[in-house]
Copies of this chain bind each other. A is one copy, B any other.
Amino acid sequence: MRRFVIGSARNLIESSRQKYQFERSILSSSYRFLSSSPAADSPSSSSSSSTMAHLVSLSTINPKVIECEYAVRGEIVTLAQKLQEEIQTKPDAHPFEEILYCNIGNPQSLGQQPITFFREVLALCDHPAILDKSETQGLFSADSIERAWQILDQIPGRATGAYSHSQGIKGLRDTIAAGIEVRDGFPADPNDIFLTDGASPAVHMMMQLLIRSEKDGILCPIPQYPLYSASIALHGGTLVPYYLDEATGWGLEVSELKKQLETSRSKGITVRALVVINPGNPTGQVLAEENQKAIVEFCKQEGLVLLADEVYQENVYVPEKKFHSFKKVSWSMGYGEKDIALVSFQSVSKGYYGECGKRGGYMEVTGFGVDVREQIYKVASVNLCSNISGQILASLVMSPPKVGDESYESYSAERDGILSSLARRAKTLEDAFNKLEGVTCNKAEGAMYLFPRIDLPEKAIKAAEAAKKAPDAYYCQRLLAATGIVLVPGSGFGQVPGTWHFRCTILPQEEKIPAIVTRLTDFHKSFMDEFRG
């Protein structure tokens, strides 16, 4: 095990043994692939069995792969898929009619409808042969037809089936850069944009670029979206945790960053970058502009790359908070290319669009020298390009219909309907969690998640121990078995040792929320009744 995790606000680590325990504690996951009960939907095959001798075994594969964990698609989800299959074949197999996937930010899987205009344009670009046909006028809005022509004209030979430039189609990057300029009020350069298959591959690319060995550290929030811990593990680096302060609404304190940076440096770790997720995942907080300025200043002073996960930039639900990109904040401080290295990640999977399956996204890379950016381009070129539909969609979300366009009214009604409903759902769930015995839940300011804290009775912790589960994982499994609701235990994201949480998305359709609240409340009451001291 080459990777180790260092640093803690709680002075927990002294020896490397303790370090290991610490890592297990803050980042242990419910995703256990070697568990004794592989569930039905896991990739098992009738033609092979684990008793057979195979050439490639766990003891001969890359240990970084084994170490990597990804909780939001972990054991609980595998179990949920198994229950779903059981319900399909036998509808009364369980005390619920359907599985409610609150584990992952996947809005359309729970019934959210795509934005019509976006899908019109995608369909027309997929099959341009119909653009000239008269029937098409009756099926598609005029501005979707016009936009499809515009986009096709930006693609050499109008070939939507060709590999594009490895950073993405130039005309689409122009559109995205223009969208960033409108958002921020500062110039954006299309040559800084790298289009990717969702934001995840962009995060991997930056980790691959920055991590040379386990002596390179990446400052990550705890709790964090486990893509970061997974990617750092796969690339052989060290996750340097900093804690978000639950007591101040998941506040990000620069004093905490400094402390963790110093601790890790004293251990011989070179900290390369700071990951900030804003709006937060799994925590749902939205950073204040003053806080962001202090973070920028910290990165500049300490020479850290700022990796800004801004995929929830459209998901802000409270009037007192507003999304500010880190680029806008640092440019407004008078900083530019030579002052701070900044990568902003954006995705078509989130916002009001929620087009997860399209795998579109981009990163805007500023403050890197031409020579380093050419290395990023080279790595991008090894995979040729991201998918063209995802590229087109990324340009659409950064340049949606405008006032006066035929689709504008329907588009804005769809967008506002989704966002206001998400805000109501967030508030309802937040209130419901706060009414549960032993549960406290911070305000859902943004993103798609709540991350309530649960004080579990001692007897429940003992029962979890007996079941060889982390206590929060035990709670989530019991909840799933009783209600069909799928949450992710806090241990998959990291949490202050000794505290327990779970992540719950705000994505089930609004009409289902009351029933979910009732089921959650009833389950929780009976769980607490069972284990209360």
Indicate if the CB atoms of B358 and A387 lie closer than 8 Å. Answer: yes
Taking a contact as CB atoms under 8 Å apart, the answer to whether B123 and A127 are in contact is: yes
Most B Cβ at <10 Å: residue of A45, A63, A198, A390: A45
Q: Which of A337-395 contact B (CB under 8 A)?
A: 337-338, 340-341, 349, 354-359, 366-379, 381-390
- Determine the chain B residues whose CB is within 8 A of the CB of A62 once the complex forms: 208-212
Contact A52 B382 (CB under 8 A): no
Chain A residues with a Cβ closer than 8 Å to the other chain, count: 123
Residue of A53, A106, A374, A389 most packed against chain B (CB within 10 A): A374
Whether A198 and B70, one on each chain, are in contact in the complex, defined by CB atoms closer than 8 angstroms, is no
Q: Is A268 an interface residue (CB 8 A)?
A: no
A518 contacts chain B at the CB level, 8 A cutoff: no
A156 touches which of B109, B209, B303 (Cβ 8 Å): B109
- Measured between alpha carbons, how far is A463 from B335 in the docked complex, in Å? 47
Within A163-189, the residues touching B (CB, 8 Å) are: 163-167, 187, 189
- Give the residue of B52, B375, B387 whose beta carbon is less than 8 angstroms from that of A357: B387
Partner of A375, one of B33, B372, B389: B33
Chain A 410-451 interface mask (CB, 8 Å, partner B; 1/0): 000000000000000000000000000000000000000000
A122 CB contacts on chain B under 8 angstroms: 126-127
Given the complex, which residues of B lie within 8 Å of A192, measured CB to CB?
Answer: 43, 45
Q: Which of A134-142, A318-326, A400-408, A476-484 contacts B (4 or more CB under 8 A)?
A: A134-142
Cβ-defined partner of A372 (8 Å) among B61, B208, B234, B354: B61
Q: Which residues of B contact A56 (CB under 8 A)?
A: 209-210, 305, 341, 368-369, 372
Which residues of B lie under 8 Å from residue A63 when comparing CB positions? Answer: 212
Q: Is there an interface contact between B123 and A65, defined as CB atoms closer than 8 Å? A: no
Instruction: Please determine whether B358 and A389 come into contact, CB atoms closer than 8 angstroms.
Output: yes
A45-B191, A337-B48 known; A65+B163 contact, CB < 8 A: no
Known: A70-B382, A157-B111, A187-B47. A38 touches B370 (CB 8 A): yes
CB distance B157 to A73 under 8 Å? no
Collect the chain B residues with CB atoms within 8 Å of residue A133's CB. Answer: 138-139
B358 touches A161 (CB 8 A): yes
**Contacts A43-B191, A387-B358 hold; do A33 and B106 have CB atoms under 8 A apart?**
no
Given contacts A62-B211, A65-B379, A212-B63, contact A384 B356 (CB under 8 A): yes
Which residues in chain A, 39-56, are within 8 Å of chain B measured between CB atoms?
A: 41-50, 52-56
Contact between A384 and B341 (Cβ–Cβ < 8 Å)? no
Q: Does A68 contact B (CB under 8 A)?
A: yes
A45 to B377, CA, bound (A): 13
B54–A367 CB distance below 8 A: yes
Do A383 and B201 form a contact, CB below 8 Å, given A33-B371, A358-B388, A372-B58? yes
A-B pairs with the 9 shortest C-beta distances? A123-B127, A109-B162, A359-B387, A357-B388, A135-B135, A54-B369, A73-B381, A108-B161, A108-B159
Selected A-B contacts with CB under 8 Å, 28 pairs:
A38-B370, A44-B191, A45-B192, A46-B189, A47-B187, A50-B369, A52-B337, A55-B368, A56-B368, A56-B372, A57-B369, A65-B375, A70-B381, A108-B159, A108-B162, A109-B157, A109-B159, A111-B157, A133-B139, A159-B357, A161-B355, A163-B349, A163-B356, A197-B387, A357-B385, A358-B387, A359-B385, A387-B390
* Residues in chain A within 8 A of chain B (CB atoms): 31, 33-34, 38, 41-50, 52-58, 61-66, 68-70, 73, 81, 104, 106-111, 114, 116, 119-120, 122-124, 126-127, 129-130, 133, 135-136, 138-140, 156-157, 159-167, 187, 189, 191-192, 197-198, 200-201, 204, 208-212, 227, 230-231, 234, 303, 305, 336-338, 340-341, 349, 354-359, 366-379, 381-390
Given contact pairs A56-B341, A130-B140, enumerate 4 new A-B contacts (beta carbons under 8 Å): A42-B377, A54-B341, A54-B372, A119-B126
